[in-house]
Amino acid sequence: MRGQVVKLDRGFPLVRCEGGAMVRCEHATALVKTAYSRAVIGDYVDVSIPEGHDKGIIEDIAPRSREFVRKDPTERAVPQVLAANFDRVLVAQPLADVNLKRLERELVLAHETGAEVTVVLTKADLAEDERQVEAVRAAVRAIAGDVGVLTISSAAPESVEAVRELIPSGTTAVLIGKSGVGKSSLVNLLVGEDVLEIGDVREGDGKGRHTTVSREIVEIPGGGCIVDMPGVRGLGLWDAEAGIGAAFPDIEDLAARCRFRDCKHEDEPGCAVRAAVEAGEVAPERFESYQALRQEAREVERRREEARRARGEKASTRRPSRTSSNARASHRTPRKANRKRR
Ligand code: GDP
Ligand code: ZN
């Protein structure tokens, strides 16, 4: 039976099977032996329900059209897939307390998926005045480039209509952002009722607190689906080349004009990137972020290479790349998860 993982919490994945039946499932033993082989929210799966068994068994996971991947925060060089098979990533940041460094990282990870990307500035009602709103929007636009930037507030429910339009029927959006930025509140406004629990704001620091880490695909009446991704603290880069390229197209274009093809933009002669920074065409902070993110990506790649060697694999055994709708992105999807095992 085909189905889709629609809820993931600490327990067993909940799968909505063809015909609508909701079945709690465990993974087939053969499936969990390999790396990358656990179903995530959004995955399409083959399920069997053995006679007299109270749970379904996930026998196979279908190839993913998209996946949101970060470095596993607890492991040295292992990827962690947080969601699969979506069309858009919404990056939420609180307007009055925006973190531009985090935003840059979130945009790299979002672009790396190959999906459409939109920034959503939340809690606009907490802004001091219209001038602050405009100043933040300008700062965010300078980082987001061609990516759309929306401003919402639960104090003005009509402000979420622009978000609703981005998620038409038949499409799925995933919502990322720090805990407490108002993701659950946005989902509830889109749905029109309280389907997700809202975190309390702690006294003093004004930060939200999360009561749950469950991930769930929520249907928007008359529209598509949205997945809140709570409890995502660290966003370590995994594959990030395409994501960095898409998040920093200005710098990548300049880099193409450096004298050396492998220019690191440090002290090489004929570096077009450093020249542009010195000429004031690229903000120094933006260049620093770019360099730091590239450095992190290279470091992860180096550790992966080490791990591969330790496993006795040939250096740079790359899985076949897959093209995506994003012209800049060439994705390396872990194909292991998709191989038939029976
Ligand atoms: P999440 O952790 O990202 O899902 O954030 P929540 O939706 O749980 O919201 C965290 C806190 O921010 C809660 O106390 C909400 O009531 C509050 N909040 C959410 N949206 C807004 C808003 O637009 N304006 C204001 N002032 N508070 C909001
Ligand atoms: Zn250079």
CATH number for the domain harbouring residue 319: 1.10.40.50
Same structural domain for residues 81 and 127?
yes
Among the listed ranges 29-43, 205-219, 231-245, 316-330, which one has the minimum average pLDDT value?
316-330
Q: How far apart are CA 323 and CA 183, in angstroms?
A: 31
Query: Ligand 2 centroid vs 288 CA: distance in angstroms?
Result: 13
What are the tens digits of pLDDT across the range 125-150?
Answer: 999 999 999 999 999 999 999 999 99
Same structural domain for residues 42 and 105?
no
Instruction: Tell me: pLDDT of 342 over 50.
Output: no
Same structural domain for residues 74 and 205?
yes
In the predicted model, what is the mean pLDDT of the chain?
Answer: 87
Q: How far apart are CA 294 and CA 182, in angstroms?
A: 30
Among the listed ranges 5-19, 221-235, 315-329, which one has the minimum average pLDDT value?
315-329
Same structural domain for residues 58 and 93?
no
What is the model's pLDDT at position 35?
Answer: 56
Q: How far apart are CA 271 and CA 173, in angstroms?
A: 39
Task: Measure CA of the first residue to CA of the last residue in the chain; give whole Å.
Answer: 15
What is the model's pLDDT at position 214?
Answer: 82
Q: How far apart are CA 256 and CA 247, in angstroms?
A: 16
Mean pLDDT throughout 234-259? 95
What are the tens digits of pLDDT across the range 297-313?
Answer: 999 999 999 988 888 87
Whose C-alpha lies nearest to ligand 1, atom 10?
180
Interior/surface letters 93-123, b for 16+ CB within 10 angstroms, e for the rest: bbbebbeeeebbbbbbbbbbbbbbbbbbbbb
Residue 201 CB–ligand 1 contact under 6 Å? yes
Ligand nearest to the CA of 175: 1
Residue among 265, 316, 258, 269 at smallest CA distance from 292: 265
Whose C-alpha lies nearest to ligand 1, atom 17?
182
Residue 223 CB–ligand 1 contact under 6 Å? no
Query: Ligand 2 centroid vs 234 CA: distance in angstroms?
Result: 29
Same structural domain for residues 102 and 171?
yes
Which helix or strand (DSSP H or E) is residue 18 part of? none
User: Which one of 175, 198, 214 would you pick to mutate in the ligand 1 pocket, going by the greatest count of ligand atoms within 8 A of its CB?
Assistant: 198
Instruction: Tell me: pLDDT of 327 over 50.
Output: no
Q: Pick the last residue of a domain from 62, 84, 104.
A: 62
Same structural domain for residues 143 and 276?
no
Ligand nearest to the CA of 263: 2
Interior/surface letters 53-79, b for 16+ CB within 10 angstroms, e for the rest: eeebbbbbbbebbbbbbbbeeeeebeb
Residue 179 CB–ligand 1 contact under 6 Å? yes
Total number of domains constituting the chain: 3
pTM for the whole thing?
A: 0.87
What is the model's pLDDT at position 75?
Answer: 75
Query: Ligand 1 centroid vs 186 CA: distance in angstroms?
Result: 8
User: Which one of 125, 185, 207 would you pick to mutate in the ligand 1 pocket, going by the greatest count of ligand atoms within 8 A of its CB?
Assistant: 185
What is the model's pLDDT at position 308?
Answer: 85
What is the model's pLDDT at position 206?
Answer: 44
- CATH number where 36 lies: 2.40.50.140
What is the model's pLDDT at position 210?
Answer: 44
Same structural domain for residues 106 and 56?
no
Query: Considering the domain boundaries, does residue 164 fall inside one?
Result: yes
Q: Pick the last residue of a domain from 183, 200, 228.
A: 228
Q: Which residue has the higher pLDDT, 201 or 249?
A: 249
Same structural domain for residues 57 and 132?
no
Ligand nearest to the CA of 294: 2
Instruction: Tell me: pLDDT of 123 over 80.
Output: yes
Query: Considering the domain boundaries, does residue 166 fall inside one?
Result: yes
**Domain of residue 33, residue span:** 2-62
Mean pLDDT throughout 179-200? 86
Interior/surface letters 215-243, b for 16+ CB within 10 angstroms, e for the rest: bbbbebeebbbbbbbbebeebbbbbbbbb
Residue among 104, 25, 30, 84 at smallest CA distance from 334: 84
What is the model's pLDDT at position 211?
Answer: 46
Same structural domain for residues 72 and 45?
no
Query: Considering the domain boundaries, does residue 236 fall inside one?
Result: no
Tokens matching residue 307: 């791990």
Find residue 215's DSSP bridge partners: 8
Same structural domain for residues 160 and 143?
yes
Q: Which residue has the higher pLDDT, 333 or 282?
A: 282
In terms of DSSP bridges, do strands 56-61 and 22-27 run parallel, antiparallel, or are they unpaired? Answer: parallel
What are the tens digits of pLDDT across the range 39-88?
Answer: 999 999 999 998 888 899 999 999 999 999 999 888 778 899 999 999 99
Instruction: Tell me: pLDDT of 322 over 50.
Output: no
> Alpha carbon of 130 to those of 98, 196, 250, 340: distances in Å?
15, 30, 29, 56
What is the model's pLDDT at position 315?
Answer: 55
Same structural domain for residues 189 and 254?
no
Q: Pick the last residue of a domain from 39, 62, 85.
A: 62
Query: Considering the domain boundaries, does residue 235 fall inside one?
Result: no
Same structural domain for residues 214 and 299?
no
Ligand nearest to the CA of 251: 2
Query: Considering the domain boundaries, does residue 104 fall inside one?
Result: yes
Q: How far apart are CA 251 and CA 294, in angstroms?
A: 12
Query: Considering the domain boundaries, does residue 337 fall inside one?
Result: no
% of the chain beyond a pLDDT of 70: 86
Query: Ligand 2 centroid vs 271 CA: distance in angstroms?
Result: 4
Mean pLDDT throughout 4-9? 93
Q: How far apart are CA 200 and CA 18, in angstroms?
A: 37
Q: Quick one: pLDDT band at residue 36, thresholds 50, 70, 90?
A: low
- CATH number where 156 lies: 3.40.50.300
What is the model's pLDDT at position 212?
Answer: 54
CA angle 20, 21, 25 (to 5 degrees): 125
As residues whose CB is below 5 A from the ion ligand 2, the structure lists 258, 263, 265, 271, 273
What is the model's pLDDT at position 229?
Answer: 85
Query: Ligand 2 centroid vs 299 CA: distance in angstroms?
Result: 19
Query: Considering the domain boundaries, does residue 338 fall inside one?
Result: no
Whose C-alpha lies nearest to ligand 1, atom 20?
182
Q: DSSP for 247-306?
A: H-HHHHHHHTTSSSTT--SSS-TT-HHHHHHHTTSS-HHHHHHHHHHHHHHHHHHHHHHH
Q: How far apart are CA 118 and CA 152, in angstroms?
A: 13
Whose C-alpha lies nearest to ligand 1, atom 24?
123
Query: Considering the domain boundaries, does residue 233 fall inside one?
Result: no
